[in-house]
Each structure stands twice: as structure tokens, then as C-alpha cells.
Structure 1
């Protein structure tokens, strides 16, 4: 890994930790703040809303500044509000801190994706982007379980303190190791917004929001799936999540290499087909514990393998507004998070089994395949007309 990519990976580590550790800390925050678990769950929604709003907004505000300055500013915001989360005196203060912590999330990954692609060797742009997302996968593998353990056994506030420390370390390495790249495009906001007039842009957004929603329909309900269908002990769930995190680490590098070797749109279609098949297998075979664990690893790998291909696809599409396009993709990921969790919960509400959310996930993944097919067909038509 190039030294210049290390600060981006560190940023991904911090962002991945603060996003996913909330799921494990909900009971502790509920008890500590004297609120219900559904009320504590609003903290997750507030963060996701911050990502969706902040991704395009902050990139557009900072579009005419050098990427290094933008990334440093975003990490300052991230660090400050995660620090505030650790000291929040009231539920409302914590809610606002989570919202503002989410604002730089999509913008950091969006700007970071463009920076990584510019720092990459020729033909290895997607692999460079995958190095940034490696931080997010390592967070799920190691730091999120650690942060959850700290929150359970000591104090949930310490976990956000750890995230703030990661932010400070990231700031140091951004200052020391990230090259001072020039502004790639200094167009005004109106010219950047032209990317939304392109059907390709909206197809990529739909691939991301619908297709990756299949992952979240599965992983949002993985605990009851594993305890009620696969019949693992509740204490085993944290270890199973580590296995899914390890799959994400492996899948992240596979996705980066596939996107550099093949057409990114075709790579997305192949990975989404594989995800649909895997989720369908989870529905039918999760009663077998061994098979269930294997499928958990595979589903984790496929979920994050999509990250680099989708980012490079948007960067190639959004010429002149690459940072805005890449940031919008991150917003779409979080829309997929919300959609997958919501739609996956509907069959449970209707009284179906704990493996029923993966059928919703299968349908969403196939929806992503459909939009990928439309994008591939449109790319062929554009080649024929030029």
C-alpha cells in the first residue's frame, strides 16, 4: 500500500467504527440515557440522515478547495462531533451530535475516492479506492467488536472517545502523508449539478440504493436469524459478526481487483447476482450451522466487494464533478441501509420467520441487477452512436 493512501484508510476506520458500533451500543445508551431502545435507535437514523444531507452539500461547498484541505476540514468536523457524542449530557444533545457526526461521512469517502484514484498507478484505480474502504472493513472486523465490548463492560461514552482519538490520528497523517493535490475541477455548483441530468448517474444511484439494500435486509436481522433459525447461542453472535467482518475484508480487495480487470458496471452486475444467490441459499440452508457460517462469510464478502466498483463507475460517469458524484454514491449506500432494514422488517411484522428478510434482500439485489443491465445497455448504445 502506498504511504499516501494510509490516511484515507485511517479515515475509513474511524467512520466505519462510529457508523456500525451504534447497533451494538443501543442497550447501553438506552440504559445510560434512561430512554427506550427504539428512542436510542433514533441515533442511528440521525447519523444516516446526516450522511445523506452532508454528502452532496459539503462537497459542493468545498468543491473549489484542494482535496487535502477538504479532507482535513471534514475530519475536524467528524472528530469534534464524535468527541461531543462522548460527553453529550442529554438524549437531544446526543441526537444532534450523531447527526453532525454523519455529515462528513459521505463527503470524506467521496473526496477520498477521487484522491485515491488520482494517486493510483495506471490501471489500479479501483484497487486504490479499495484500500480506503479497507479501513471500514477492518473497523467491522476488529474495532466495532472492541468498541461494543468497551461499551458493555465499562461505559459507552468511552467508545466515542476512541473514535475521536482515531479522528485525531487521521488528521495528523492527513497533514503529514497526503500529497497536496491541485483542484481537479473548479467549476461552479451549477455546472457540477449537470451530472444529475445524466440517466447514467441515476442508474448508478439506483444500483446502489436498491442493490446494496439487499445486504442490509440480511445483516440488520442477522442476530435473530442466527439464534432462532441456525440455533446458535446468543453469546455466539459477536463472533459471527467478526466472521462477517472478515468476509468484508476479503471481499473488499476482490472487488477492487475485479473492477480494474473488467467493466465496472458488469462487475456490479456479477456481484449482485452472486449476492442474490447467496441470500437465497441463506433462506433455504441457514438451519445447518456449518453452511450458515460459510454463507455468512460469503455474504459479508459480496456486500463490501461492491464498494470500489460502484465508486469507480460513478467517478468515470461524473466527469467534471467526480467528488460530488462519488459523495452521492455514499448517500445512496445509506439510503440502501434504511430501505433494506425497513423492507426487511416487513415480513417479520407480518409474522413470517426470521429468515424471511433475506427473501426481501434477494429481490432488492435482483433489482440492482436490473438497473445494472440497463446501465450496461446504455453504455453500449453510447459507444455505437460515437
Structure 2
């Protein structure tokens, strides 16, 4: 199933390039449309909000269809978005076409993971999931910084051309490389919805939301922060995005290994970065070398957040894999949306320098959720032992 996992990974690279590729060009978009940076940030937060609100329903609806066809349809919509966005349409139309693929993003991710795991050995599930979700880290080391670099060389529209090209390649790979994958046994909606009554699952979902909100409070304004606080130009920022992604690729691989040992421990380890990074950014001052070191550490701790969030949530609902995956994506994107919006409000009032501290607040709350779930599970184990 590794071949399917790698194809799923390529598709996810296209998706993440479309979703996060705007981060490096937000200042240019804001200038072009003569709007503030927090309003330009809505291109990211609104995309994430659509995913958060519709993801579980779209995944439930599509759960009975052939997985190959669902993945192809999803990527085709992302391709359409990249093409239209590259034409620099009016801002309302740019926003509209940005929202269209958001409806299918969680469907693609949950379907790609389910396709990769359909015949997998139980011991290799986290490894295969790591390959698919590794597309996030790979996009951040390749296509996201490359799109920013191309935009610095030409214009911001060129970033969307890059996004469209990656989506076209992914669509071709799915069409040529994947067999038809009809769903042989569709689980009832009731069976999947049962997990929403599980308090451990609900705590895990809240942790997922808070963790992603913590990271995106700062990462959404990565380019603006480095430009205004650290004095870097657009080209240097593209290099920093590249560095951020390089350390992230290694971290994603390491996290996949660590999750096999301890899911909560691995999640807490990387989540601790939301508390450490704000202090490191603050005390790195204006020294470029210090800032480069901090960005490398930041990328390392940030990159596995989506893999850890999925593994953490699925571990609370192993019998509803696709629905749990879609909820992980939805709660994660709700975190992207809320983290971006809350940080945008703080930036509008106090300046972009304060955005890392917004992330620290969300991060502390996420760590609290991990501790709470651990206490609940230990109490449950103790009760079960007493009954035996």
C-alpha cells in the first residue's frame, strides 16, 4: 500500500500548496487589492472555516463512493482554483474560488489515508499515515516556499500558477497510478456518529483545535512577521520558508516513529514548541543568524502537528477511521481559522510582534487538554481493573 500512500502524499502536496501557499504572498495580495493584512488573511481563515464547518458532513456523504474517483474530483477542483486565482480576479471572486476546494479538502485527506490503510498491517498504519500526511511537510519545504520565491521574482499571481501545476501533476498521478477502489462495506452513519458521545474523543478534538490554533496564530503571518519585526525582504522570507520546511520533513519522519511508542507523549513533545518558540523569537532580537536558528527549531516542532493531531484523535476512535480523520481535519482547520482571526485582531490592535504570544496562550490550553484526557483514561483503567 506504500504506492497508494505516496500518491496520496502527492495530492496532499497540491492541496497544502493551495491552502498555505498564500501565506508567503499575503503582503503582496494586500497591496494589490489595497486592503489591510488582517483582511487579506481572510483568504486563509475563510478557507479553513469552510473545512471546519462542512468537513464531517462531506466525508460522511462521500464515504460510500469509489475512493479513486473522490480523490480525482477533489484535486480537479483544486486545479480549477489555482487557474482562476492566477488571473488576479476581483477580490470577491478570488475569495469565492478559494472557498470551493475547501469543501473537498477533508474528504480528500480522509479518503487518501483510508485508501493507504485499507490492507495495511496494523504495525505499519502510523508509518503509512505519516507518508500521506508527510505531504504537508514536503509542501512546506518545496512548493510553498517556491511559490513565494516565484512571486518575489515575478508577481503574486505566479504563486497560483505553481499551485495549479502541482495539482495537475497530482491529478495525473491518481488517474494513472491508482486502481479503482470501490467501498465494499459502507459503515452506517449511526455507527460513525457514536464517537461524538465519547468524552475522551471530544477532549482530543478540542486539543486538536487548540494545538493548530496555537501554531497558526503566528505561522499565518509568517511573512508579515519576518518582514516587519525581523527586517527580511520577500526573497529572504522564501528562503526561511524553505528552511522551515526542511527541518519539518525530518520532524515528520521522526514523529511517525515516536507515535508508535507513545501518542500522547509525542504530541506533547512537539506541542511544547508553541510555548518555547515565542520566547525564542522575542530574544533572538535583530540578529539574522539567531533568527535563522529559531526558524529551524520552529519548523521542526511545528511540522508534525497535523500528523500528531490525526493520530491523537484517531486513537480515541479506532473503529470510525474516515469520520475521525475528517473530524481531525475539521477541528484542525477550525484551529487555523480561529488562530488566524484572533491573531489578526491582536495584530490590528497591537502589531504583528504580538502574534507569537497569542499562540502561546492556545498552546498552554492544548497541553491542559492532553493532561485532562490522560487523567480520564487512567481513571477508566482503574475502574475497569476494580471491576475485574
TM-score (norm 1): 0.87
Distance 2:224 2:255 in 1: 29
Q: CA 1:247–1:184 in structure 2 vs 1: closer, same or farther (change >3 Å)?
A: farther
Distance 2:328 2:359 in 1: 19
Aligned to 1:293: 292
Q: Do the aligned residues in 2 keep the contact of 1:74 with 1:104 (CA within 8 Å)? A: yes
Aligned to 1:323: 322
Aligned-residue CA RMSD (Å): 2.8
Q: CA 1:230–1:36 in structure 2 vs 1: closer, same or farther (change >3 Å)?
A: closer
Distance 2:178 2:243 in 1: 32
1:357 Cα deviation after fit: 2.5
Distance 2:140 2:23 in 1: 12
Q: CA 1:119–1:140 in structure 2 vs 1: closer, same or farther (change >3 Å)?
A: farther
Q: For residues 21-40 of structure 1, what are the structure 2 equivalents within 5 Å?
A: 21-29=21-29, 34-37=33-36, 40=40
| Counterpart secondary structure, 2:315 | helix
Distance 2:364 2:269 in 1: 11
Aligned to 2:241: 241
Q: CA 1:347–1:50 in structure 2 vs 1: closer, same or farther (change >3 Å)?
A: closer
Q: CA 1:384–1:184 in structure 2 vs 1: closer, same or farther (change >3 Å)?
A: farther
Q: Do the aligned residues in 1 keep the contact of 2:4 with 2:115 (CA within 8 Å)? A: no
Aligned to 1:307: 306
1:138 Cα deviation after fit: 2.1
1:63 Cα deviation after fit: 1.3
Give the paired residue count: 383
1:283 equivalenced with 2:282 (yes/no) = yes
| Counterpart secondary structure, 1:212 | helix
Distance 1:351 1:283 in 2: 15
Q: Do the aligned residues in 1 keep the contact of 2:149 with 2:235 (CA within 8 Å)? A: no
Q: For residues 38-117 of structure 1, what are the structure 2 equivalents within 5 Å?
A: 40-87=40-87, 89-117=89-117
> Which 10-residue stretch deviates more, 267-276 or 56-65?
267-276
Gaps of 5+ in 2: none
Q: Do the aligned residues in 1 keep the contact of 2:45 with 2:341 (CA within 8 Å)? A: no
Aligned to 1:344: 343
| Counterpart secondary structure, 2:186 | coil
Q: Do the aligned residues in 2 keep the contact of 1:124 with 1:260 (CA within 8 Å)? A: no
| Counterpart secondary structure, 1:50 | helix
Q: CA 1:103–1:301 in structure 2 vs 1: closer, same or farther (change >3 Å)?
A: same
1:373 Cα deviation after fit: 1.1
Q: Do the aligned residues in 1 keep the contact of 2:144 with 2:241 (CA within 8 Å)? A: no
Q: CA 1:185–1:89 in structure 2 vs 1: closer, same or farther (change >3 Å)?
A: same
User: What's the CA shift string for 1:174-215, capped at 9, x where partnerless?
Assistant: 233335455375223333222222112221221111122221
Q: Do the aligned residues in 2 keep the contact of 1:150 with 1:158 (CA within 8 Å)? A: yes
| Counterpart secondary structure, 2:272 | helix
Q: Do the aligned residues in 1 keep the contact of 2:59 with 2:326 (CA within 8 Å)? A: yes
TM-score (norm 2): 0.87
1:120 Cα deviation after fit: 4.3
| Counterpart secondary structure, 1:187 | coil
Aligned to 2:355: 357
Q: Do the aligned residues in 1 keep the contact of 2:148 with 2:238 (CA within 8 Å)? A: no
Q: CA 1:206–1:225 in structure 2 vs 1: closer, same or farther (change >3 Å)?
A: same
User: What's the CA shift string for 1:207-241, capped at 9, x where partnerless?
Assistant: 11112222122223444544555455665222222
Q: For residues 220-231 of structure 1, what are the structure 2 equivalents within 5 Å?
A: 220-223=220-223, 225-227=225-227, 229-230=229-230
Q: CA 1:222–1:80 in structure 2 vs 1: closer, same or farther (change >3 Å)?
A: closer
Q: Do the aligned residues in 2 keep the contact of 1:15 with 1:105 (CA within 8 Å)? A: yes
1:335 Cα deviation after fit: 1.8
Distance 2:60 2:247 in 1: 34
Q: For residues 162-173 of structure 1, what are the structure 2 equivalents within 5 Å?
A: 162-173=162-173
